[in-house]
Amino acid sequence: MWDPLVRSVHWSLAALIVVELFNEAGANPWHRYFGYVAAALVVARLAWGFGSRGHARLSSMAASARRAPSYFRRPATPAAGHTPPGALMAFALWALVLLVALTGWMLGLDAFWGDEGLQRIHEVLAYALAAFAVVHVIAALVASYLQRVNLIKSMITGNKPA
Amino acid sequence: MKKTAVAMILCFAAGAAFAGANCPKYPKAEWMPQDQARTKIQAMGYKIDKFKVDGNCYEIYGQNKEGKKAEVYFDAKTLDVVKAEIRK
């Protein structure tokens, strides 16, 4: 089961990442505002991960992530919550969203105003986030095929049979 | 299939993000020389921290007359302000 907060944060982040990649960064306040919204969503999700029970819980995700090495030897094993690589990917995507947002915010400080080095770091992190998101989408499709479950649908409806 | 399309859009979109502004395109010979452009931009009241060429634009990071942080894109021939953001 994916609870409503997990699902709404997931799809909102997906939409924001696509929007921000299209959204011009230069002299465009909306690029900044959407970035802050994305960071706030990740923070809310992390808070939920501490407070909630079930598959959203960070400690159960971390326990799952630690099983990733052995999981790759039997990749067709379905899971009711995050599969081990799925949990790892979620952590990686959240970390990247926070890093992109942090460097974006720093670019507005006096110390980094127009700083091309930090702009480049922000760009590289953003491209890394996009690349991870593409891998995430492909992995969801491949895992859906191998495990004979529609993972995309389960992230919409919330029902994820083990 | 739908997801593949999304993935492809993500790949293409990655190239679009950091374009700054849509300035009219001129042959290089028609661009205002950079030294002259800097001087004129300063005469408009801007303090320039960074001056650079961004696509078809001249772009500055600096401060406006009121001392507020400003990011401004200029037409490379006429120095019309094409796009600007003034921070509060």
Q: Give per-residue burial for B50-83: e unless 16+ CB within 10 Å, then b.
A: ebeebebbbbbbbbbeeeebbbbbbbbbebeebb
Mean pLDDT along residues B72-81? 97
For the record, the structure tokens of B6 come out as: 């999304």
B5 in A contact zone (CB under 8 Å): no
B61 in A contact zone (CB under 8 Å): yes
pLDDT at B11 over 80: no
Is the residue at A150 inside a domain?
yes
pLDDT tens-digit readout, A4-34: 999 999 999 999 999 999 887 888 999 999 9
CA distance A125 to B7: 18
Q: What is the pLDDT of residue A75?
A: 60
Structural domain containing residue A91: 4-157
Q: What is the pLDDT of residue A162?
A: 60
Q: For the sheet containing B47-54, what is the strand order?
A: B47-54, B57-63, B69-75, B81-86
Contact residues on chain B for A21, CB-CB shorter than 8 A? 10, 13-14, 16-17
Is the residue at A162 inside a domain?
no
Q: What is the pLDDT of residue B3?
A: 55
Q: Tell me whether 0.85 is exceeded by the ipTM.
A: no
Q: What is the pLDDT of residue A147?
A: 85
Q: What is the pLDDT of residue A54?
A: 85
| Residue A75 three-state SS | coil
Q: What is the pLDDT of residue A69?
A: 84
Is the residue at A146 inside a domain?
yes
Number of structural domains in chain B: 1
pLDDT tens-digit readout, A57-81: 999 999 989 888 888 777 667 777 8
CATH code for position B64: 3.10.450
Q: Higher-confidence residue: A87 or A80?
A: A87
**Cβ contact, residue pair A22, B84, below 8 Å:** no
Structural domain containing residue B64: 20-86
Is the residue at B52 inside a domain?
yes
Is the residue at A121 inside a domain?
yes
Is the residue at B12 inside a domain?
no
B19 pLDDT band (50/70/90 cuts)? low
Number of structural domains in chain A: 1
pTM, two decimals, is: 0.86
**Cβ contact, residue pair B13, A22, below 8 Å:** yes
Is the residue at A101 inside a domain?
yes
Is the residue at B24 inside a domain?
yes
Is the residue at B13 inside a domain?
no
**Cβ contact, residue pair A27, B20, below 8 Å:** yes
